[in-house]
Amino acid sequence: MRLLRTDDETSSDPLFAALRRRHPDVDVVLLPPEEPAPTHRATEGDDAEVRARLAAVELAQARVRSALAPLVPDLAPVAAAAPAFGGTEAQVRGLVRLRGTSEAEPDLVHRLASALSRLGWAARVAGEPGAVGRVTGVLDDVDLSLTHAAPPASGLVLVVLTGPPLTVGVEAARRWVAGEVR
């Protein structure tokens, strides 16, 4: 680490020039970035944890379908819950997508959010209702995103459920997402 005087490299930086001009009585100390925390290394136990998280997303999917069945009777999974990459390529998370259609009903997005709330989801309508309505929610670390394209457009209802990311390492994550591990 090196110390810089105000007439060194920082003098050409517009941010520091303005700071010195407006606040000549303030001393600024810039610290080097911290070293990142060591990452979790994949172990044999990680496969069991990934399976448990997939099962949690699958259970959430069944609950969502039962809660929304009166409003969207044909809501069904596009595919079974499957692993997907998390926030990084070393992470995996459970993912399931549901698809269905709805009739033209007034205030359907709010009714969908209410049905999820009764089930325990922290659900809320995102944005203003209109041609496309959105509901977001969380229950037991599973995130929900529901999108409804109001008729006459299509009446399509899409639900995406995702579990929390789990760090398993790059190679293990690639194997899970590719379907080599079940």
Mind listing the pLDDT tens digit for each residue in 71-95? 888 888 888 888 898 888 888 899 9
DSSP string, 19-56: HHHH-TT----PPPPPPPPPPPPP-THHHHHHHHHHHH
Confidence of residue 161 (pLDDT cuts 50, 70, 90): very high
**Domain limits of the chain?**
1-35, 45-178
Q: Is the pTM of this model over 0.75?
A: no
Tell me the sheet residues that pair with 76: 99
Instruction: List, for residues 34-48, the tens digit of each pLDDT value.
Output: 655 444 443 444 788
Secondary-structure class of domain 45-178 per CATH: alpha beta
The type of residue at 55 is A
